[in-house]
Amino acid sequence: MGRGPDIRTQSGGLQAARRFALPWVLWVFGLSTSLLLVGLWGRAVVVDDATVARSTEAALSAELVTDRVHDWISEGLAASTGITETEADDVLGRVWDQPGATAAVDRLTAGLVTALITPPGEDVTIDVGAALEPLVPDVVTAMEAQGVDVPAGEVEQAVEALDPVKLDAGEAVSVGVVTDQARSVLTLGVLIAAAMLVLSAVGAVALSEDRWPMVRSLLTRIAFSALSFAVLFRVGGWVLDPDGGRSPLRRSGAILVSSNLGVFLGIGIGASVLAFTIWFVRRPIRRRRSIPTPVGEDTSDEDTSTQELVTV
């Protein structure tokens, strides 16, 4: 007679311990899910060279590049053709209205971006003369309109005489170094978060009285978290730069935040499919359990172990 209460007491204590531990385990699971999702997205961003290049290009101020190109050509014309810097500025004022000037600035900006994202250990040289050579006909036409008669050959020589811009290791690989370091840190973070996720998931399933519904619940949590992050980052990118050109840094951040959202969508859809599969496969089992026992059915052959345990 004395063993029955001890068994019931132990069972009740075990249930209480499970009820106490399960919310904390689920909290760790939710935290590790967020860390893993953000880590996977971040790693996808830093290994996406196209996204990094577009973000770096957006961060560069086009006005600074344009001013620098203007100074290069103005100084070259004044030195080689004998015209004054004021006349050279007037000529270039006409040239910047031409499509070729925009194309030249774009070429130089692209070269600078390539230099900034170059991997460590590689030197990068930007050939300014080659980038500005297509502007020669426009410069000659503008000079003629100003009444300055200079042969096209002299203008071409002035452009070709511009010194190439060579970036040393420290300047050329700044962005490349940052992305390499971020990749290493994010990889470590992903591994730690994945380990936390697996351990907490195993713990939650072990503490649950009905394990398959818990597995489905965990998958549903992952799906909702991933899809929520996709929406959050997409809206965040719009908030950073709603008009598409508020500032170079805002535009650069918006490109990064809005990129590689397929990571979240893929994980969310995959977890949703697995959760639905578990629900669909176990639906017949739930139906059988929910069927009531017919009135008058003989239950004398049922297992009486529970009754015997209570009467001990």
User: What is the residue extent of each domain of the chain?
Assistant: 15-46+179-290, 61-172
How distant is the alpha carbon of residue 181 from its chain centre? 15
Number of neighbouring beta carbons within 10 Å of residue 113:
20
* Exposure b/e, 122-155, CB count within 10 A at least 16 = b: eebebbbbebbeebbebbbebbeeeebebeeeeb
Binning pLDDT at 50, 70 and 90, where does residue 7 land? low
Read off the pLDDT band of 113 (50, 70, 90).
confident
pLDDT in tens, 81-96: 666 777 777 777 777 7
The per-residue pLDDT for range 166-212, each reduced to its tens digit, is: 655 444 445 667 777 888 899 999 999 999 999 999 999 998 888 88
